[in-house]
Amino acid sequence: MICNDPDPIICKCCTQQGKGVIVGNEDVDGLTIPTPESRWKHFKGNIYEVDMVALCSDTCTLKVIYHEIIDVENSTCLSHVFWSRSLKEWNQEVDLPDGTRIARFSPM
């Protein structure tokens, strides 16, 4: 289902069904939805701040919009580059070369 609802606040493709919560085409039950301005450490060591969680108009899936904090002490972002990653990817575990599985992003 592709969401073409013109009302950005009440999107008809976002529903609650039983105990599982469906947003767009995704079951978000059990997934962590990061809050704006929260800080997260990427498994490679970089620090990121979440700007928002957005609903993709093409796929009706949730995307985390975030940017890198270059100077953590002064909260300075020098790159002005914003990244997006699907909520499912945000919550994924990744395999390290030694076979260990860790979270892609960890809250700080």
The rounded mean pLDDT for the chain is 77
Q: Is 31 or 102 the better-scoring residue by pLDDT?
A: 102
Which tens digits make up the pLDDT trace of 16-66?
A: 444 344 455 456 777 888 999 999 999 999 999 999 998 887 777 789 999
Top CATH class, 30-107: mainly beta
- What residues does each domain of the chain span? 30-107
Q: Is the pTM of this model over 0.85?
A: no
pLDDT at residue 69, rounded to an integer: 87
Q: What percent of the chain has pLDDT over 70?
A: 67
Q: What is the largest CA-CA distance in the chain?
A: 48
